Amino acid sequence: MKYVYDESKKRLSVYLDEELDIHECRTIRNIIDSYIIKYEPEEFIMDFSNVKFMDSSGIGLLIGRYNLIKLLDSKMTVINVDSSIKRVIELSSVSKYITVRSE
């Protein structure tokens, strides 16, 4: 996982490269939260370009980050999801709150 913070746009982008299962989500949850707390972005983007698997732990990861971003009155976007992950997100109704788009 890597991240980029664009000061001029107040945008934090996180590029995930893991399978989002229970083990990986435990680790990256704290890392992502520390970036959000440090930068307090107006826009938070999670890039799923290299994520090929996500289970319910990944949904929990999204919801938790959304709740933190919401506290900052910021917006969250998930980009570059493959079709199977997009389906999981849509079935969970997370897409009602988080923008999901292809780049």
Q: Which domains are seen in the chain, by residue range?
A: 2-101 (3.30.750.24)
Under 8 Å between Cβ of 52 and 81: no
pLDDT(103) > 70: no
What are the respective helix, strand and coil percentages of the chain, to the nearest 5? 45, 25, 30
pLDDT(102) > 90: no
pLDDT given for residue 18 in this prediction: 80
Quick: pLDDT tens for 36-92: 999 999 999 999 999 999 999 999 999 999 999 999 999 999 999 998 898 889 899
pLDDT given for residue 75 in this prediction: 97
pLDDT given for residue 95 in this prediction: 87
Quick: pLDDT tens for 20-43: 999 999 999 999 999 999 999 999
